[in-house]
Structure 1
Amino acid sequence: MAATIGISAEVRERVMAKYSKATAKKVARAVKKAKKGTLKSGGSGKKVTSRKQAIAIGLSEARAEGKKVPKAPKKKTAKKSAGKTVKKVATKKKTKERKAKKKS
């Protein structure tokens, strides 16, 4: 009780940890494996060389186990540009011209 003297419940809630101890262990394990050179990426199976990627893998594993971890940031989708549409139309025209040449 002596440690919480002078701190209201509201302040304590704001100071609470974002990550659980179990999450911290997962991240530490992933970073240690990355340093050792044995941590592999889930998708491609390649060796992880980036510290940031090792941390992301640790957080992802903790999330999968239901540990206390903030939600992953949402990926932004790129807007389609008009330039791509123009290229597609030009490519279709060229393809039609080639097919016409082959027929004749």
Structure 2
Amino acid sequence: MAKAENWSQKVTESSDALKLEHGVFSLKDPREIALSLKKSAEESARRKSDPYRSAMSMLTFYINRAGKQLPAEQKDRLEAAKDELRALFGKHHR
């Protein structure tokens, strides 16, 4: 599991687009994850797209990069955070 922690820590600490809250992807509440990503995206001067896309891209990147190493419970929580992000930004899932 150390390998998964290494890459995710690197992404969390060195993202060009967003300055993420430490441990955001390990939060237990999907809404808290979404709120943190939304705040980071809205405050970022470095992002290249709108806040919603930046936040969703970072979340999706994290889920995809963790792949099979991501425990099912955490993956479910992160997928639920996508729905929360959509709601926070007033987007509808297609």
Task: Identify the TM-score tier after normalising by the shorter chain.
Answer: under 0.3
**Which structure has more RCO (C-alpha within 8 Å, separation ≥ 6)?**
2
- Structure richer in helix, relative to its length: 2
Q: Give the greater-gyration-radius structure (CA).
A: 1
TM-score calculated relative to the size of structure 1: 0.23
